[in-house]
Amino acid sequence: MNTITKYKVFWAWQDEQEELWLGKMAAEGFHLQALVFPCVYRFEMGAPRNDTYRMDFLVDRKDYAGYLQLFKDAGWEHLGEMGGWQYFRTSRAGNSIPEIYTDRDSKAQKYQRLISILIVFLPIFMTITTRPIDPTSQFAALYFTGKLLGTFLMLLYVVAMIKIFQRIQELKKR
């Protein structure tokens, strides 16, 4: 079976674009087979299909098997997970696009779970970025690089949180 591996950066607030992209790939005959690493997808090449891809974000894994079973029963194939994101696919066609979330409230809750996880990492970055550097230390340059990287990552997290927060607000207003 022919496979290709594709690298694509995925931003946490662009999950819907990601779903559309996976659907477009399928329409061109590239079907998601596995999630290799973050941002690395493996596709199986075959006949074009009109599939729908959806991503869920799961935190509480007490009943993971039951969760997957429910999706399976409802016609969703689980393709794997990456950093809490659950990738699902369905070939089910009808007059409406199949959805895993059928109301705005539950969809907003998905993004609230995402935010709750992002917030956990913030104090770590804050600690890294606010720690004073001893300029006489032989590792000063290394610390400085770490601080720069930490600052960059923290900014990214803040941007992600703002974007996701906006998504939640959009879903909550009518």
Contact residues toward other proteins (CB under 8 A) are: 54, 56, 60, 63, 65-71, 73-74, 76, 96, 98-103, 105-107, 109-110
Whose Cβ is closer to other proteins: residue 29's or residue 80's? 80
Rounded Cα distance between 23 and 81, Å, is 17
Q: Least distance to other proteins from the beta carbon of 80, Å?
A: 17
Whose Cβ is closer to other proteins: residue 7's or residue 73's? 73
∠ CA 167-168-170, nearest 5°, is 65
**How far is CA 131 from its chain centroid?**
30
Whose Cβ is closer to other proteins: residue 94's or residue 135's? 94
Q: Least distance to other proteins from the beta carbon of 108, Å?
A: 10
At 99 the three-state DSSP class reads coil
Q: Least distance to other proteins from the beta carbon of 71, Å?
A: 5
The closest of 25, 28, 29 to 87, measured between CA atoms, is 25
Rounded Cα distance between 127 and 169, Å, is 30
Query: In angstroms, what CA-CA distances link 141 with 45, 58, 138?
Result: 47, 39, 8
Q: Least distance to other proteins from the beta carbon of 59, Å?
A: 11
Whose Cβ is closer to other proteins: residue 105's or residue 135's? 105
